[in-house]
Amino acid sequence: MSESDLENIVAMPAELLEAGVEKATLLEKEIINKKPFTVAKEYWNNLGPGLTTGASDDDPSGIATYSQTGAQYGTQLLWLSLFTFPLMAVVQEMCARIGMVSGRGLAANIRLHYSKTILYIATFFLVAANVFNIGADLGAMAQGARLLSPQLSFGLLVIGFGVLSLLLQIFTTYARYAKYLKYLALVLLSYVFSSLFINLHWHVVLFHTFVPSLNFSRQQLFLICAILGTTISPYLFFWQTSQEVEEEILKGEQTISERQHAVRSRDIKSMRADVWTGMFVSNVVMFFIIAVCGATLYTHGITNITSAADAATALKPFAGNLAYVLFAIGIMGTGMLAIPVLAGASSYAVSESMGWKFGLYRKLKNAYAFYGVIILAMIVGIGLNFIGLDPIKALIYSAVGNGLVAPIILFFVVQLSSNKDIMGKYVNKRHITWLGWLITAVMAVAGIAVIVSLF
């Protein structure tokens, strides 16, 4: 500040000076008061593909797996919610970075840089696993609805949920559709709220969260492999990568070259916050489902949980009617979130592998093959509920498919994200690459264990 400025302030009338100070103080208070809301709003607006990807991981099939874990072993395996969090986040961040920097989806990158034959085989198993999962989730959603209104027809509910999901995918603009998925992710809070209606022994809960415990029984190892398979799932890899591309297209970056040159460090930073938030939300939900079922079902000797609806029904006598309703609502909400992701991931993988036009931002008439895969996956998923296929068997088939596909796709994810020619300055750091290979090895062991345990 210059000497003349100081003289002007000194010469300023006292009342004006006081008014200025008072105005500045009020302005400062207003900024302070608004800051938390502004920060929260900006944070929410920044969330997108990472949040919906993480939330879709807690589909009805995942809920059934977590419920079964809590019912059979109490809180003993709660540490898995903490253990899988960084593994999921690292993998999904690599996938997101590949999409942002290359301007292409995961399958398109594999097709461009590696063997098409391996890609076709992996895509086949991915789609098969996803279709079985879609069928199981639709059945679970119908069961969830019947928990609230038993007089409703199971078959009509399956068809209704399937058709509704299909219409939203085909006839809703991508911008609106992405927003719908984002807000639908909030339904996961129902599982957190359900914990408020039971008496959790937090010292036991926290102990098992931070101290791993195993009994190495065949059944427990199978459940652990199932949890790894449902949290680090191949369909999430394809969906995350392609959604980052869709987000860039939404911003007007129509060509691959435009997308490759548009990425900035701040975009990577925003993506990282989005992905880690999504994976955190996913694992918090896993944590509370296991904790709630462990504190109620396990302690009362109810260990035979075969579906998310079974878990909700079994909870009612011990956790109350509201917890029961929250579980039922969660089953339907998470299904509506996960099924489009499963069908969409299948279509992205097939369309990119075959070199077809793809993308939810396109209209039906401009991408018949892309939407055709989604329609076919949904029709087969609906049909599985009418041929007498046991939902548990569907989940087992899905787990086997994921066990076969996950290590293969992870190999490509780590390779692509570690390739400086593809990623440039956004290539993996050395420790991320090593962690990526460790995750690949863990998933390979888990996949082999699931398959071996079935024979």
Alpha carbon of residue 366 to chain centroid: 28
Identify the pLDDT of residue 207. Answer: 95
Residue 40, pLDDT above cutoff 60? yes
**CA dist., res. 113 & res. 102, Å (int):** 12
Mean pLDDT taken over the chain: 83
Cβ distance 330 to 187 under 8 Å? yes
The terminus-to-terminus CA distance of the chain in angstroms comes to: 81
More confident residue, 241 or 308: 241
Among the residues of 149-296, which ranges form H helices?
154-171, 174-184, 189-194, 202-210, 218-231, 234-250, 256-262, 265-296
Identify the pLDDT of residue 35. Answer: 63
**CA dist., res. 440 & res. 455, Å (int):** 24
Provide the Cα torsion 220, 221, 227, 233; round to 10°.
Answer: -160
**CA dist., res. 58 & res. 411, Å (int):** 24
Greatest alpha-carbon pair distance for the chain in Å reads 92
pTM of the model: 0.85
Among the residues of 47-115, which ranges form H helices?
49-56, 60-73, 79-102, 106-113
**CA dist., res. 400 & res. 132, Å (int):** 11
Residue 318, pLDDT above cutoff 80? no
Any idea where the domains of the chain sit in the sequence? 59-453
Arithmetic mean of pLDDT, 24-37: 53
Q: Which amino acid is at 182?
A: K
Class of domain 59-453: mainly alpha
Nearest to 132 by CA among 220, 219, 59: 59
Nearest to 104 by CA among 236, 238, 221: 238
pLDDT digits (tens, 9 = 90+) for 210-231: 999 888 787 888 888 888 888 8
List the structure tokens of 269.
């930073």
Nearest to 98 by CA among 233, 238, 234, 230: 238
